């Protein structure tokens, strides 16, 4: 990656914000755990960044707390409102409770009940509206204008991005040796922007590879078009990443820091959930398994061997009654093949060139 002076200044800005983010007042440092069975099967060293072990079972607590803790006293007094498919919602609910802030969260009607209960059990108001995240987002923005509450974006905010970037800070400290690529789930782009900014500033040789559901591939569409685009519809199986448009702040970083973006199918996600379970005995939600599904597809496409690859295991908020479907589809999942779509920048990661 060759960054312009302006791009380098942007990365430096985010690195400073990441290093200063007080996320550990609420979030925890999660382990970077080896996945021995998956590593043996793929012929590479696979490491899982266990963000499913956060207090809200998702990395989202990092960005939510970093945003809320920096509100002014006047903003805190008015309260906050956000829209979320569930994981950011629980992060905002917990952060707001700890900081004594009133919180209202708009969630799609399709949100898993587990996530709705997670919000209400943490003291926030959960309003269900719309069939998918874009509808919930529009309604939340209207409510923010009407009530004067501060809107807390789930991904399109520099403080949220910086909070999520602390994931990368931990990875580089936990694994100072050879690291070939980090695979990152992509929804609205806050996580991958934070990780990419930190890693490309300090370890530019490490590839940053985004993994999207093929039913909500808004970053890949934006990179192909050279600008942010809005998808006409999104699938909700991977509800945590069911976003129709990449965030503006995130895209500003991703357009020059992300080496490649690939898409995976629902069946591949189900198979990846099983892979993670086999190695960790933990059950990941579909969006949380995106990175592992991406690694499997990458190895199948490139024949990579002997590399050190990190997957962000981003969340574990899955309804129990969904597990039968996941198990059935995992058993039927086809072997990954190069036919699935991917986008690589012209000067992108040399590891992933077909």
- Active site amino acids: 60, 314
User: Which residue from 287, 277, 314, 284 is spatially nearest to 214, judged by alpha carbons?
Assistant: 287
Token digits of residue 219: 């970053």
Query: Which helix (H) or strand (E) element contains residue 208?
Result: strand 207-213
Total residues found in the chain within this entry:
354
Q: State how beta strands 80-83 and 103-107 pair.
A: parallel
- Let me know: does 245 contact 277? Beta carbons within 8 Å: no
- Let me know: does 239 contact 110? Beta carbons within 8 Å: yes
Sheet containing strand 308-313, edge to edge, reads 32-34, 45-50, 308-313, 181-185, 207-213, 260-264, 342-344
> What span, in angstroms and rounded, lies between the C-alpha atoms of 227 and 216?
16
Q: CB neighbours (10 Å) of residue 172?
A: 16
Token digits of residue 79: 């309260």
User: Which residue from 94, 100, 98 is spatially nearest to 82, judged by alpha carbons?
Assistant: 94
φ and ψ of 251, to 5 deg: -65, -30
List residues bridging with 315 in a β-sheet. Answer: 58
- Let me know: does 288 contact 53? Beta carbons within 8 Å: no
- Let me know: does 67 contact 94? Beta carbons within 8 Å: no
How many Å is the Cα radius of gyration of the chain? 19
């Amino acid at each position: 990656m060759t960054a312009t002076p302006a791009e380098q200044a942007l990365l430096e800005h985010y690195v400073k914000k990441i290093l200063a983010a007080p996320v550990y007042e609420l979030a925890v440092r999660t382990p970077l755990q080896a996945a021995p069975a998956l590593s043996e099967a793929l012929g590479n060293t696979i490491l899982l960044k266990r963000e499913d072990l956060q207090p809200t079972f998702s990395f989202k607590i990092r960005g939510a707390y970093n945003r809320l803790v920096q509100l002014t006293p006047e903003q805190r007094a008015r309260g906050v409102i956000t829209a979320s498919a569930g994981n950011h919602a629980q992060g905002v609910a917990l952060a707001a409770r700890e900081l004594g802030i009133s919180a209202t969260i708009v969630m799609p009607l399709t949100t898993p009940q587990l996530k709705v209960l997670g919000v209400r059990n943490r003291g926030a108001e959960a309003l269900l509206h719309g069939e998918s995240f874009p509808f919930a987002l529009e309604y939340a923005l209207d409510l923010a204008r009407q009530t004067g509450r501060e809107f807390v974006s789930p991904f399109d905010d520099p403080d949220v991005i910086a909070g999520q970037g602390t994931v990368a800070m931990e990875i580089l400290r936990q694994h100072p040796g050879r690291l070939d690529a980090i695979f990152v789930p992509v929804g609205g782009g806050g996580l991958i922007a934070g990780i990419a900014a930190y890693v490309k500033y300090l370890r530019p040789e490490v590839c940053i590879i985004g993994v999207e559901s093929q039913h909500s591939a808004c970053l890949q569409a934006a990179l192909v078009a050279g600008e942010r685009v809005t998808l006409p519809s999104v699938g909700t199986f991977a509800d945590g990443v069911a976003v129709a448009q990449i965030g503006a702040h995130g895209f500003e970083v991703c357009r020059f820091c992300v080496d490649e973006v690939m898409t995976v199918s629902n069946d591949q996600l189900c198979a990846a959930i099983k892979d993670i379970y086999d190695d960790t005995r933990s059950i990941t939600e579909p969006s949380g398994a995106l990175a592992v599904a991406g690694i499997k597809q990458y190895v199948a496409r490139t024949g990579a061997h002997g590399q050190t690859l990190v997957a962000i295991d981003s969340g574990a908020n899955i309804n129990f009654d969904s597990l039968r479907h996941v198990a059935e589809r995992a058993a039927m999942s086809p072997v990954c093949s190069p036919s699935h779509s991917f986008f690589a920048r012209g000067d992108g990661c040399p590891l992933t060139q077909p």
